[in-house]
Chains A and B, each alone.
Chain A
Amino acid sequence: MSIRSTALMARKSLRARLGRTIAIGFAIVAGVSFVVGSFVLADSLKATFDNLFAEVNAGVDLEVRAVNEFGTNASRRDPLPDTLVDEIQAVPGVGMAAPFLQRTAQFVTADGELVTTQGAPTFGVSYSTDTELSGLVLRDGRFPEGLSEVGIDKATSDRERIRLGDAVEVITDAGRFPFEIVGIVSLGNADGFGGATLAVFDFATAQVVFDAGNLADVISISVSDGADIATVQAGITEILPPRTEVITGDQVVQEAGAGISSVISAFGTGLLIFAFITSFVSAFIINNVFAITIGQRLRELALMRAVGASARQVSRMIILEAFVMSVIATLIGILGGIGVARLMIAFFNAAGLGFPPTGTTLLLRTILVAVAVGVGITLASVSVPAIRAARIPPVAAMRPELGFDALNTRRLLGGVIATSAGALSFLIGLFVRPGGNTGLILFAGGGGLLLFLGTASVSSTIARPVTAFLGWPVAKLLRTPGILARQNAGRSPRRTSASASALMIGVALVSAAAVFAASLRDTFVRVLDRSVTADYVITDSSFQGLTPDVATTLRALPELSAVSPIRGAPALIDGERTALGAADPAALGELLDLDLQRGGYEDLGFNAVLVHQDPAANLNLDLGSVVVATFQNGVSVDLTVVGVYADAAVAGNWLISLETLEAISPLPPRDFFVVAKLAPGVEAAFGDSAVRSAMEPFPQAIVQTNAEFREEQEAQINQLLLVITALLLFAILIAILGISITLALAVFERTREIGLLRAVGMTKRQTRRTVRWEAVIVSVFGAVIGVVLGSLIGVALAIAVPDSVIDAVSFSPSTTVVILIGAICAGLLAALYPSYKASRMNVLEAIATE
């Protein structure tokens, strides 16, 4: 047989087994689509934002701003005096210099409803009369002027139905101000900006509503026609005060792009992990389907050998089949991936994120990865079945039973070795971390893969007893169909374990996440329970922090005995970036319990610091030691250690007083949250209403009792688990599809047997039941192994993270119950088609089948 005849046979076989071809194709397409979708989504968003920044800053030639000690966009910069604008304007070659301010500002609609954003920022910005410099495009009305006029971004206007002429209020840190909507704007061509809201004022108004005195955040500059930008830049540099810099518009664009790039990349990488998991699961399905169909074609393949095909030709034919299939499926997968990306953008937009109009960016890198994934996993999946097929002896054409030996190999030993090596490597990756994070990913990731492969292989050894055990109630309950279902599930352990393994992987990952999340949650709750002694925690709805007025207002309440905001600032200590917390030392002792080992809260005076025991040990600090902290504006302060504590959960590693922080940083203060304690003797209900009514002027403030706060933290961790599960859903769906295909092939294989059963009196319903419960037994089998393996992985993860994050392992029995019920449903779902197929079988044709 020549290559051409191999190709002919491969083509015929592909066409003859269309159902199988489609099923495998689907598994490949799904994996590839997810991978491509992740890349395209991230690349397209990056390109879009890069374009947007370029467009918005098109008119900006130079920008003046304060120097940030920590490099580009690491943290907020100190504001500048607005008198600098006139000095810059006087520099030769400067066309226009315009100051800008950006703070937070929240709209309250005419109906008194606070406009919220599901976590996106609520910006308040000034614009320049030279609109070229502010990048804002007027879509309707006019730009606001004076103390009663405000503009709004188009996306928010559309979403919240805020129209021109509406009387709204705007809440800033300085208070609550009435405004009239006079203009609707967009940022370049983008209606909105990732779900953020934008309130636009003229500069003088912005200074008032932001209580910014005579300050500006940055000064944007355009050069006059014909002037050389570099020359003008040099001219401006000469007149700038210290710790101030002038950069080009290109650099502004590039920094802004890099900032959002890192966010999008992190998001894209997250998606990509799940995409690869999906592909891995697909590989299982592909492998299993090929293995089964080769078993079914045993006689045909043996016949080919009998008429003179060489062993190599047989395996070559099978590999060629797989290759053709994978190339076509990969191409479809790339198109599908573009669709997935577009769908996700549409989904985000529907959820109110308001992305700018996004093009589709398909990079060569994406195509290469898609081919590697699509063609790679298929060829890898088919290699073992192809080699086995080559071992089929020609005599099997007449006596098929002689051929099956060739298809079965000893798997137990290899499986045990793979499982142990995988587990070992996984643990080494987690606990030893050779070579830092790279080692973690290589060892833990590779070990995880090996662990799954090994477990899948070992599970075929236990498939028979375990399915017999799981099938026992089914057999008891459903009698004959149940007995048959149970026996069919245990009939071909390799196949059962292979189709269950795909589900096992998905379930294992969900279970691991569940154990990790439960441990995280319980530790967190325990820590909060112990360390937060305050009765109230006040947070804000958009993660931007609260105005200090909130704490000030609460301090005035006689019902409260202690109130402190918790603030933070980035700083450099001993050459390392870290975060400093800041609180009110007078109230701290009543509100938080940091598990103080030495020193006292009341000693936290000016330029004093409380330090967690870990950095204290690392830097050899004790009471009276002095550390130097450098802040983003270059200010260095000597801080004297006045206490060492053991609980970093709330305060972080370093804690200074508000007074110290305010002396260092001229940035407008924002409080992460505010904690407060009821005065002795004040009833909870009474205190509650006092606090809540005091907070009424601050709709952005969320008042929670200690218990409510804890519950919310728990709910957030639960939500994280839900998101992970949702992302694994794709892999789980493919696994269900895999069970369905395997079963459909089994039904086809057992045509004669099903015909016989029907002939001796099995009803259609009983036939459907038999298939259905076989599917359920198989999927529950996969789920049980997944839960066991996943929980072990979860335990390892929980132990691997530092004790300050997780100090004890907890399990989540409710998740396990949900998984098992889900597995039963998955089985029922997987059985839909095969059971229908089985019951629709024509009895006469079935018994005539050889």
Chain B
Amino acid sequence: MTPGIQSQGHAASVTNAYKIYGDGESEVRALDGVTVAFESGRFTAIMGPSGSGKSTLLHCLAGLDTLSEGSVHIGEVDLSTLNDRELTELRRTQVGFVFQTFNLIPTLNAYENIVLPQMLGGERGDQAWIDEVIAAVGLGDRLTHRPSELSGGQQQRVAVARAMASRPQIIFGDEPTGNLDSRTGTEILKFMRAAVDEHHQTIVMVTHDPVAASYADRIIFLGDGKVVDEMLDPTAERVLDHMKGFGE
């Protein structure tokens, strides 16, 4: 798959997505009829107040969770048609994921963590690409160190690199910079931005931070499980203004 083809069409989309927890009195609509698509080769941020359904949406998109109603597509594939094995395979090859914390296996060193999905699949991976990703992470000789010997920022960079290493259709990040100081956070955001600009990687990132969101090409605003607004080519100030409007 070349970046040229990826930049056309949607890397992922949800249609009429509902995610309902509990029933009756205690029913919670974490997703309440969401339809949204993510274009290939673009960096999208998802924002919204706590409890608005951001993590839920991301989990469903990444095949970690299933919808109550509606459909999810990664590329051309409808996730509801996949069994557990195929979903696992999809996660390994088509999707990357970066969590807020605890992204790395403590017993593996940085390099092994990066190529973990390929190792799991028993593949060599695209060595040239992996070398490129690793070079971009800029860990140098710390590549053979265990996560416990890396700083928080270095750990998150390794996590992003791991997500990129298999050249997935799309990378999801759930507050990947949420646990970092602003300088280290900026480092990661620049790294992700570069992945989109230079390698046409598609990235979807949940964040509460207007500065972080301003690195994206587009922002989707969620509220009470619905898409409430959208902003293209955001800047930090515009996002802040927007958020004041929504009272977050």
Residues of A that sit less than 8 Å from B by CB: 479-480, 483-484, 487-488, 491, 752-753, 756-764, 766, 843-844, 847
In the complex, how many angstroms separate the beta carbon of A356 from the nearest chain B beta carbon? 61
State which of B30-38, B70-78, B116-124, B132-140 sits at the interface with chain A: B116-124
Shortest Cβ distance from residue B215 to the other chain A in the assembled complex, whole angstroms: 24
Would you list which residues of chain B between 94 and 129 have a CB under 8 Å from chain A? 96-97, 99, 102-108, 112, 116-117, 119-122
Contacts of A479 in B (CB 8 A): 119, 122
Of the listed stretches B39-47, B84-92, B204-212, B230-238, chain A binds B84-92
B59 touches A844 (CB 8 A): yes
Bound complex: CA of A673 vs CA of B62, how far in Å?
82
Residues of B within 8 A of A757 (CB): 105, 116, 120
**Chain B residues with Cβ under 8 A from A480's Cβ?**
116, 119-120, 122
Choose among A487, A756, A763, A764 the residue that contacts B107 (Cβ–Cβ < 8 A).
A487
Cα separation A758 to B85 with both chains bound (whole Å): 11
Could you tell me the distance between the alpha carbons of A685 and B93 in the complex, rounded to whole angstroms?
A: 75
Q: Is B64 within 8 A of A847, CB to CB?
A: yes
Residues of A within 8 A of B59 (CB): 844
Q: Return 19 A-B CB contacts under 8 Å, by A number.
A: A480-B119, A480-B122, A487-B108, A491-B107, A752-B102, A756-B99, A756-B103, A759-B91, A759-B97, A760-B117, A760-B162, A761-B88, A761-B89, A761-B91, A762-B88, A762-B92, A763-B89, A764-B85, A844-B65
A758-B106 in contact (CB<8A) = no
Chain B residues near A483 (CB-CB < 8 A): 108, 112, 119
Q: In the bound complex, what is the Cα–Cα distance between A262 and B59 (angstroms)?
A: 72
Asked whether A763 lies within 8 Å of B97 as measured between CB atoms, the reply is no
Task: Let me know if A760 and B122 touch, CB within 8 A.
Answer: no
- Tell me which of B91, B104, B120 contacts A766 (CB under 8 A): B120
Expressed in whole angstroms, the minimum distance between the Cβ of B148 and any Cβ of chain A is 9
Partner of B116, one of A491, A760, A844: A760
Query: A residues within 8 A CB of B116?
Result: 480, 757, 760
Q: Which residues of B contact A764 (CB under 8 A)?
A: 84-85, 88
Alpha-carbon distance A847/B59, docked complex (angstroms): 11
A844 to B97 Cα, complex, angstroms: 12
- Contact across chains for A759 and B102 when beta carbons are under 8 A apart: no
Beyond the given A760-B97, A762-B88, please list 6 additional residue pairs across the A-B interface where CB-CB is below 8 A: A491-B107, A753-B106, A759-B64, A761-B92, A763-B120, A847-B99
The answer for the CA separation of A843 and B92 in the assembled complex, in Å, is 14
Assembly CA distance A757 to B88 (angstroms): 10
B66 → A minimal CB distance (Å): 10
Q: Please name the residue on chain B nearest to A763 by beta carbon.
A: B88
- Known A843-B64, A844-B59, A844-B65; contact A761-B117, beta-carbon cutoff 8 A: yes
Number of A-B contacts (CB under 8 A): 66
A211 to chain B, nearest CB (A): 81
Chain B proximity of A46: nearest CB distance (Å): 57
* Shortest CB distance A612–B (Å): 64
A753 to B116, CA, bound (A): 13
Measured CA separation A606–B106 after assembly (Å):
86
Bound state CA distance, A460 and B116, in angstroms? 29
**A695 shortest CB reach to chain B, Å:** 68
Instruction: Find chain B residues with CB under 8 A from A491 CB.
Output: 107
Our pick among A752, A756, A761 for the contact of B121 (Cβ within 8 Å) is A761
Closest to A481 in B: B120
Interface readout for B207-228 with A: 1 if CB under 8 Å, 0 if not? 0000000000000000000000
**Bound CA span A758–B93, Å:** 13
Measured CB to CB, the nearest residue on chain B to A758 is B88
Q: Pick the contact of B120 from A761, A843, A847 — CB < 8 Å? A: A761
A-side contacts of B97, CB under 8 Å:
759-760
A56 to chain B, nearest CB (A): 70
Find chain A residues with CB under 8 A from B64 CB.
759, 843-844, 847
CA distance A69 to B225 in the complex (A): 101
* Cα distance A844–B119 in the bound complex, in angstroms: 22
Task: Give the residues in chain B near A760, CB-CB below 8 Å.
Answer: 91-92, 96-97, 116-117, 120, 162
Most chain B CB within a 10 A radius of its CB, from A752, A761, A762, A764: A761
- CB neighbours (8 Å) of B122 from chain A are 479-480
Residues of B51-76 at the interface with A, using a CB-CB cut-off of 8 Å, are 59, 62, 64-65
Chain B residues in 8 Å Cβ range of A759: 62, 64, 91, 97
A762, B108: Cα distance in complex, Å:
15
Min CB distance A850 to B, Å, is 9
**How near does chain B come to A696, taking the closest CB pair, in angstroms?**
69
Closest to B103 in A: A756
Closest residue on chain B to residue A486 by CB atoms: B107
Contacts of B104 in A (CB 8 A): 756
Max count, chain A CB within 10 A of own CB: residue among B64, B89, B120, B122 = B120
Assembly CA distance A479 to B122 (angstroms) = 7
Question: In the complex the two chains form, what is the Cα distance from A756 to B116 in whole Å?
Answer: 11
Closest Cβ neighbor of B94 among chain A residues: A761
